[in-house]
Amino acid sequence: MSLFTRRDALLALGGLPGGQIMSARAANFPDHPVRIVVPATPAGALDLIARILAQKLSEIWKQQVFVDNKPGANWIIGMDAVAKAPADGYTLLVVSAAGLSVNPLALANLPFDPFRDFSPISTLSRGAFVLVTNLQLPAQSVREFIAYLKANPGKTNHGSNSASTILLSELFKSQTGTSFVDINYRGSAQALNDMMSGAIQFCFVDYGSAVPAIKAGQVRALAVTTRERYPLAPDIPSLAEEGLPNYAFDGGTVLLAPPGLTPDVVKILNVATVKSLESRDVGARFSDIGVIASSSPPELIADNLARDTDMWKALIKERNIHFTE
């Protein structure tokens, strides 16, 4: 099933007439361990989300569900392993939605097509990025920060720590008419550390990574990127309410499978995933790492990713952005 095939996604959930009768194999699914591939190192947000989900699915199915970390090459190694795995439901992928909407635009010669070579199962979480500054910067609000940038064009450093944060910073430049320098880091931890030391002045970073520094008073959180205030950070305004009404981006994770998965297995996987995410303990554990449990039918994944891809594609063309791998 192609990621962007609405009819197949609806059929997978029984939303169209003439749905297939569940096969005997699907009726017994799963009858042996299920592997969830995480294309990142252990202990990060993706890994933690996958492990929480795996534990709950194991409880529901009375069958082992385990996490297999395959980091490297901007998630490509792990994603490629799932794209080429058997389409039987026993190999799954937990990945950031940006791995599908941003990577194809940022990275050349991918060994798979992110929009064709996966079967969507469900969203898993939604999250936010947050605009944080070091405490030495005089700005106390987004409006003051924009005024500071305009008064000091090209003299302020932003710590980009992923393709997504490069795009978020360029979107900020585009909508505010400001100019600053992007310094690329391999991850959010290094960017935050350099910001707190004064080597750079600000960064966009996922909320979960920023929480410890925010709570410790080591950085100043000016705004979140979600259109409205983020429920886990109700005291932090959104960029939209701070004068940028067209600035909105939700960071989230999705659960995918190899292409060609039958609709009955997609349905089994979706139902179990939704049940997992609706459980109170999973919701609480997700909140602890800065994300909100959020399930969806497969076709909404296609719609949301198509929207995000179109937005980033337009921005890349407008700003003439070039990524270096």
Nearest CA-CA partner of 141 in 213, 218, 236: 236
For residue 314, give every residue at least 6 positions away whose Cβ sits within 8 Å of its Cβ, in sequence order, or none: none
Q: What is the CATH number of domain 6-126+250-319?
A: 3.40.190.150
Residue 57: pLDDT over 60:
yes
Q: Which of 11-15, 56-60, 170-174, 256-260 is predicted with the least confidence, judged by mean pLDDT? A: 11-15
pLDDT over 80 (residue 166) = yes
Distance CA 102, CA 113 (A): 12
Reported as a single tens digit per residue, the pLDDT across 274-288 is: 999 999 999 999 999
Residue 25: predicted pLDDT: 63
15 by Cβ neighbours in 10 Å (0-12 / 13-18 / 19+) ranks as middle
Specify the residue for token string 């505010």.
176
* pLDDT value at 13 more than 90: no
Distance CA 284, CA 294 (A): 12
Separation of alpha carbons 42 and 321, rounded Å? 31
> How far is the C-alpha of 163 from the C-alpha of 158, rounded, in Å?
13
SS3 sequence, 251-302? Answer: EEEEEEECCCCCHHHHHHHHHHHHHHHHCHHHHHHHHHCCCEECCCCHHHHH
Which residues does 275 contact at the CB level (< 8 Å), separation at least 6?
A: 60
Mean pLDDT of the chain: 89
Tell me the pLDDT tens digit for each residue of 216-244: 999 999 999 999 999 999 999 999 999 99
Is the pLDDT at 10 greater than 80, yes or no? no
pLDDT at 12 over 90: no
Q: How far apart are CA 163 and CA 171, in angstroms?
A: 12
Q: Report which of 249, 231, 253, 252 is spatially closest to residue 240, judged by C-alpha positions.
A: 249
Per-residue model confidence as pLDDT tens digits over 95-125: 998 888 888 888 878 899 888 899 999 999 9
- 86-100, 292-306, 309-323: which is most confident: 86-100
Give CATH 3.40.190.10 domain extents, the chain: 129-224
3-state SS of the chain: helix, strand, coil percent to 5?
40, 20, 40
DSSP letters of 157-222? EEEE-SHHHHHHHHHHHHHHT---EEEE-SSHHHHHHHHHHTSS-EEEEEHHHHHHHHHTTSSEEE
Give the pLDDT band of residue 200 (cuts 50, 70, 90).
very high
Model confidence at 215: pLDDT above 90 = yes
What class is the 129-224 domain?
Answer: alpha beta
Q: Which residues of 292-311 are buried (b: 16+ CB within 10 A; e: fewer)?
A: bbbbbbbbebbebbeebbee
* Euclidean distance between CA atoms 205 and 68, whole angstroms: 26
> Which residues in the chain are classed under CATH 3.40.190.150?
6-126+250-319
Confidence (pLDDT) at 115: 80
Per the model's pLDDT, the better-predicted residue between 20 and 179 turns out to be: 179
Token pair belonging to 61: 């199915």
Query: What is residue 314's predicted lDDT score, i.e. its pLDDT?
Result: 92
The residue among 237 and 14 whose pLDDT is bigger is 237
Residue among 91, 62, 64, 65 nearest 79 (CA): 91
Which pLDDT band, with edges at 50, 70 and 90, does 23 fall under?
A: low
